[in-house]
Structure formats: structure tokens, C-alpha cells
Amino acid sequence: MKDGVNGVALAVFIFFFLVVTVLGFLAARWRRAENALHLDEWGLGGRSFGSWITWFLLGGDLYTAYTFVAVPAAVYAAGASGFFAVPYTILVYPLIFTFLPRLWSVSHKHGYVTTSDFVRGRFGSKGLSLAVAVTGILATMPYIALQLVGIQAVLDVMGVGGGESSNWFIKDLPLLIAFGVLAAYTYSSGLRAPALIAFVKDTLIYIVIAVAIIYIPIKLGGFDDIFAKAGDAYAQVNPATGKPRGSLAPGDTAQWAYGTLALGSALALFMYPHSITAVLSSRSRDVIRRNTTVLPLYSLMLGLLAMLGFMALASGVGAGVTGYNGQLAIPQLFENMFPSWFAGVAFAAIGIGALVPAAIMSIAAANLFTRNIYKDFLKPDATPAQETQVSKVVSLLVKVGALVFVLTMDKTVAINFQLLGGIWILQTFPALVGGLFTRWFHRWALLAGWAVGMAYGTWVAYGVASPAQKHFGGSSDTIPVIGQIGYIGLTAFVLNVVVTVVLTFVLRALKAPEGVDETSKADFTADAGDPGVQKDLPVGAGH
Amino acid sequence: MSEPSGTSGRPPVVTPTRVIAGVCLVIPFVAMLWVGSYAKLTPEFIGIPFFYWYQMLWVFLSSGLTYAAYVMVRREERARKEGAK
């Protein structure tokens, strides 16, 4: 599989890596405000980003290196079922359009930095806010780890690091360097670094996809041939399961899983702390809305990328190798098909594609810790400068944690946790989105619903077996009552909502204390320029 | 939730514009979650099975629908601001 180091590709890769490193450090001076010590500056880029930057930032954030490796890998492995990422990312935008402008408004009015800030302010419950914060951190950690898995795949195919190299230090050195650099500029520049690097990342990705989707089919004899060969490959029966490997269109029994996965993932995606961070860093409500009309360009790109999975299969990548690591399929396809220098560009695109979201995710997780654990529970009188310092240090710790995770444990552990993370984060939906539209839900009912959803989702996911693993073998299982196979996260979510509604009725009948709501109706529609909505928030706002 | 317009001094929550915008936002959900409507291989487009090109086509359709909703909502918000002054 590996024929030594690909020198030209490696040189191009290193060149782009150096460019973004310089950019990352320069970003600290970009659009700098006077009040640099406030958490809004480091953690939200001064809340000043306009349409263009938000577009790149959100795109760089939601479509990660892992997506670029995993989506085509899923298509490569099983065909149609891996394509659910396309309807999933189509459905995300109408949801963002509907929900997030309200979150933007109320956050600007009250100086909220995280979703947990909002939940605490709306429901007057530190417990519920803590639950949301912990869920966010837990769900984000494995996501960061998977970005490393994405970089590893690229390094592996280039013949640097990984593999069977004898010494663990030599083996992991490239990854350690990449992450050391990432950690350093995130620490010094905050959210401005990934925002600036996202420009480079997306330009590279768009070029690579455009070339790949035209050049590779020409080399492989057109889409007719590609799909014919892929169809043959999927039809082959897997001796381990006695079933065909996959199919080109989902059969009757697979359609529920396809639809529920798309819907559940779409609902979960903008619950993730990193998507919220990118949204809150924008300058106005209008920037968010306008962006939802142009962000689907990324979904188109994702669809084209997914097609590369068929091309990898048709071109014979990994054919005949038992236990071939599907994660390597796309990097390997690039290496086989492209001249070395362009393969280097493609690898750089994936590598940098990992750095941007990893930086945003670690900032988002750090903000959650600082605002909703450190400030709420450990040091209520922390100054904004202290908050920023804690956030910076935590963003480092989060990344180190992810690194240790990837280096010491099997890759499948990270993937299992990522799967669980999606199920978990979806359970914060009722508190957040419910809270954006109504104060009817009771805070204790929301907490109980969250707990039930978390427990159910974890327990069922644990019980899913696949030919390769006994537990966490997939994200779908039988839906009780309906009897079809569906996404576990969505089933847990429905259960969560049912518990929340029932308990709200009960608690209201018992007149349980509701907590203080510090928001008012007008806060949810306030826009930049309205009274009380400052561009630069006053120090310590919202407390 | 909604109040009849003009009685409370606050503009109504549900307006015809918002209903149409809401419909625009809901259509992609119906189209994408009705998997049975597109889980087939033909007709092909330049060799790509129906299942794949149809979903990619919806990227454009849903983007257009979101844009329509955006234009409508923005126009109404501006009109309200003018009215409030």
C-alpha cells in the first residue's frame, strides 16, 4: 500500500502548512479591538464578522476534514446509505434560518457567549445550564479527536508517520508538530485564526473537488463505468454477514434509517458548541439569514465529494485487501490519480481542513467550561481578563486531551464516541430551541427529559453490534412502536420531548418554582443598532 | 399565541408573509424525508443514478426556497421598522 515517502506531494503539503501557520499567528492583529482582554475578543472574534467571513467560518466549521474523509469512506464501504450526509446538510439551513437569529439577538442583548449562558438566563437554572455545558464538551472532544484521525489518514498515505514505523515517537512526530502549531496560534489569536485560515482551506478544497470531479471520471471512463463497477462491487456478498456489501439505492427497509439519520443529524449539527460559536461571532441577524441561502454551496461540494467514494471503488482502491481501512480510500485515490504536486495540494486541503474546525471546536469547548463551570461554580467573581485566560488554557487542555485520545486508543474508540456525541448533543435541543420560542417548558422537566434521552441513547447505542464490533456497531436500531430501523439519536430525542412535556404538566400543576427569566420578548428579535444591542459588549454584561 | 392585528399595539405573530416563508422552509423536509420518492436508479443523468443527482438538485432547490423566505421576511421586518418610526 505504501511506496515510501512521496517527496513532491510532501513538499507541497509542507508549503501550505507553513502558509497557514504564518496566517494563524498574524490573525491576532487582524481587526483587533481595544478591549483585547475580553472573552468576546478571543472567543468570538469581537462578534464582528460580516457575511463573507461568517460564510467561510461556518463552512470551515461544519464541513470538517473528518467529513471529507468519512463521507466518501462511508459511500465507498456501503453505497447509498453513506449519502445521507447530503439531505442532512440540506435540512440544516432551513433550521438555522428559523432558530439561530433569535439566539443571536438574545445573546447580543445579554452578552451570552455560549448556549448554556442562554439556558441559564432563560430558565434561571444553573443545573440545566451545567447539563447543557457538560453535554457540549463531551460531544466536542471526540469530534476534535477525529480531526486528528483525518490528518493521520493523509500523513499515512503520504508515507510520513503512522504505519509500522518502529519508534512511536517518529511514528507520531508529524501529528505532534501539526497539533503543536495549531495549539500555539489558537492560544495567541483565538477565533480570528481559524476565521482567516478558513479562506485558504476552502479555496483549496473547492479547487481540489472541481478538478477531481472532472478529471477522475475522464480517467475512469465516465460516470456510467464508475457506477456500473461500483454496483458490481456492492452486489458481492460479504462472507461475514451473508449479505451484499451495499447498494446504489436504499432498499425499503433502509429508508427509515436514511431519513431519520438525515433529520436527526441536521437537528444535532447546530446544537454543537462550535456551530453556535461561529454563529454568535457574526455581526448581525441578517448575516446569519443571508448565509443560510448561500451555505448550501458546501452541501453540493459534499455531494460531489461523496461521489469520490464510488470512484475509489471503481478504480480498485483497496480491492483484494482484507480489512482495508476505508478512511484511507480518498487520500489513496488522490495519490493514485493525480500528479504528485496536485496530490500534495489535495492532501494540504484535507490537512488544513482539520485544523480549522479543531481550533473552533477547542475554543467553543473552552468557552463552555469558562462561562458555565468556572464562572458559575468555581469563581463567580472572575474578571473578563481572567475568563479569557482560563479559556485559553482550557482550549490547550482540550486539544491535548484529544491528542492523547488518538495516540493511546484505537481509532474506533474515537469514532464510537463521536457517534455517541451526536446522540448526546441532540438531547440539548428541547432546552435550547424550546427556550428560544417559549417559556412554557419547566426547567426540571427539561433536565429530566435530557437525562432520559442521554441514558436511552447511550444504552441502545451500546447494544448495537456489527460484524466488526460487539458494541457501538452503528447509529441505527429498531424504533419502539414503529418497528422500523431508525437513528437512535432521534428516537432518544422524541422520548426526551415526551418526558419533558409530561413532566411540565405535572410540575406546573404542582406549582413547582419556575425560576427567573431574565429575557424579555423583544430580546429575541433585537438587531444590531437597536437600543441595548452594542457591537462591543460592556465588560461583564449579562451578570 | 397570535393576536388579532391592531388590537394590542403589537404586530401579529402570524402573518400571510410568514406563513408563505414557513412553507418555503418546510418543503425541503417533505422532499428529503420522503426517501421512497427518490430511492431508485433511473432515470440517469450523464451516467449518475437518479438517487444521487436528484438529491444534489435539491441543494439548489432548497437554497432557492430559503432565499425566497429570506427576502420575504426581510421585507416585512423593514416595513415594520418603518411603521414603528
* CA gap B37, A33 in Å, rounded: 52
* CA gap A520, A522 in Å, rounded: 6
Contact A87 B59 (CB under 8 A): no
Asked if A199 and A191 count as a contact pair (C-beta separation under 8 A), the reply is no
pLDDT at A33 over 90: no
Range of weakest confidence among A79-88, A152-161, A255-264: A152-161
Q: Give the residue from A144, A174, A182 showing the smallest Cα distance to A157.
A: A174
Alpha helices in A159-254 (DSSP H): 168-189, 192-220, 222-235
Residue of chain A nearest B18, judged by CA positions: A98
Average pLDDT rounded to a whole number, residues A64-88:
83
Distance from the Cα of A214 to chain B's closest Cα (Å) equals 12
* CA gap B81, B85 in Å, rounded: 6
Average pLDDT rounded to a whole number, residues A208-230:
86
C-alpha dist (Å) from residue A69 to A30, A168, A245, A290, A328: 31, 24, 20, 29, 8
Q: What percent of chain A has pLDDT over 90?
A: 13
- Long-range contacts at A224-231 (CB < 8 A, ≥ 24 apart): A224/B44, A224/B47, A225/A314, A225/B47, A226/A310, A226/A311, A226/A314, A226/B47, A227/A310, A227/A314, A227/B47, A227/B48, A227/B49, A229/A313, A229/A314, A230/A79, A230/A310, A230/A313, A230/A314
Asked if A368 and A277 count as a contact pair (C-beta separation under 8 A), the reply is no
CB pairs under 8 A between A and B: 107
Q: Give the residue from A423, A62, A419 showing the smallest Cα distance to A275.
A: A62
Range of weakest confidence among A420-429, A512-521, B6-15: B6-15
Contact A94 B47 (CB under 8 A): no
- Long-range contacts at A125-129 (CB < 8 A, ≥ 24 apart): A125/A443, A125/A444, A125/A447, A125/A515, A126/A376, A126/A377, A127/A443, A127/A447, A128/A431, A128/A443, A128/A446, A128/A447, A128/A450, A129/A372, A129/A376
Contact B35 A255 (CB under 8 A): yes
Q: Which residues of A touch B39 (CB under 8 A)?
A: 80, 249-251, 255, 258
Asked if A105 and B76 count as a contact pair (C-beta separation under 8 A), the reply is no
Chain A contact for B84 (CB, 8 A cutoff): no
Distance from the Cα of A59 to chain B's closest Cα (Å) equals 15
Q: Would you mind telling me the total number of residues written for chain A in this entry? A: 543
* R_g over Cα of chain B: 19
Q: Give the residue from A87, A50, A82 showing the smallest Cα distance to A69.
A: A82
In DSSP terms, A478 is beta-bridged to A485
Going from N- to C-terminal start, the domains of chain A cover 7-410
In DSSP terms, B45 is beta-bridged to B48
C-alpha cell read off for A417: 464516541
DSSP state letters, A300-340? HHHHHHHHHHHHHHHTTTTTT-TT--GGGHHHHHHHHHS-H
Average pLDDT rounded to a whole number, residues A207-221:
87
* CA gap A102, A521 in Å, rounded: 10
pLDDT at A466 over 80: no
Looking at residue A541, its pLDDT comes to 34
Is domain A7-410 annotated with CATH 1.20.1730.10? Answer: yes
**CB-based contacts of A412: which residues, under 8 Å, 6+ apart?**
A468, A469
What's the distance, CA A262 to chain centroid?
15
Query: ipTM of this complex > 0.90?
Result: no
Average pLDDT rounded to a whole number, residues A458-477:
78
Contact A86 B62 (CB under 8 A): no
pLDDT at B22 over 60: yes
Which amino acid belongs to residue A386?
A: Q
pLDDT at A496 over 90: yes
Alpha helices in B1-85 (DSSP H): 16-33, 50-84
Strands A485-487 and A476-478: antiparallel
* CA gap B49, B41 in Å, rounded: 5
Residue of chain A nearest B42, judged by CA positions: A249
Chain B contact for A299 (CB, 8 A cutoff): yes
Contact B29 A263 (CB under 8 A): yes
pLDDT tier for residue A499 given thresholds of 50, 70 and 90: very high
Looking at residue B57, its pLDDT comes to 93
* CA gap A253, B47 in Å, rounded: 26
Average pLDDT, chain A: 82
Looking at residue A484, its pLDDT comes to 79
* CA gap A357, A405 in Å, rounded: 17
Distance from the Cα of A384 to chain B's closest Cα (Å) equals 35
Between residues 6 and 35 of chain B, which touch chain A (CB distance below 8 Å)?
25-26, 28-29, 32-35
Residue of B36, B46, B56 with shortest CB distance to A223? B46
Asked if A354 and A23 count as a contact pair (C-beta separation under 8 A), the reply is no
C-alpha cell read off for A519: 429575557
Q: Which residues of A363-397 are buried (b: 16+ CB within 10 A; e: fewer)?
A: bbbbbbbbbbbbbbeeeeebebebbbbbbbebbbe
In DSSP terms, A237 is beta-bridged to A244
pLDDT at B2 over 50: no
Residue of A249, A256, A299 with shortest CB distance to B51? A249
Task: Give the three-state DSSP class for B48.
Answer: strand
**More confident call, A457 vs A155:** A457
**CB-based contacts of A176: which residues, under 8 Å, 6+ apart?**
A403
Contact B35 A83 (CB under 8 A): no
**CB-based contacts of B7: which residues, under 8 Å, 6+ apart?**
none
Asked if A292 and A94 count as a contact pair (C-beta separation under 8 A), the reply is yes
Looking at residue A164, its pLDDT comes to 54
Looking at residue A34, its pLDDT comes to 59
**CB-based contacts of A247: which residues, under 8 Å, 6+ apart?**
A78, A79, A80, A234, A235, A254
Over residues B35-81, the pLDDT tens digits come to 888 888 878 788 888 989 999 999 999 999 999 999 998 888 888 77
pLDDT tier for residue B8 given thresholds of 50, 70 and 90: very low
Over residues A280-320, the pLDDT tens digits come to 888 888 888 888 888 888 888 888 888 888 888 888 887 76
Over residues A146-184, the pLDDT tens digits come to 888 888 878 877 777 655 555 566 667 778 888 888 888
* CA gap A84, A88 in Å, rounded: 6
Task: Give the three-state DSSP class for A150.
Answer: helix
* CA gap A3, A157 in Å, rounded: 9
**What are the percentages of helix, strand and coil residues in chain A, rounded to 5?**
75, 0, 25
Looking at residue B26, its pLDDT comes to 93
pLDDT at B4 over 50: no
Looking at residue A441, its pLDDT comes to 92
Looking at residue A543, its pLDDT comes to 33
Contact A252 B36 (CB under 8 A): yes
Residue of chain A nearest B39, judged by CA positions: A249
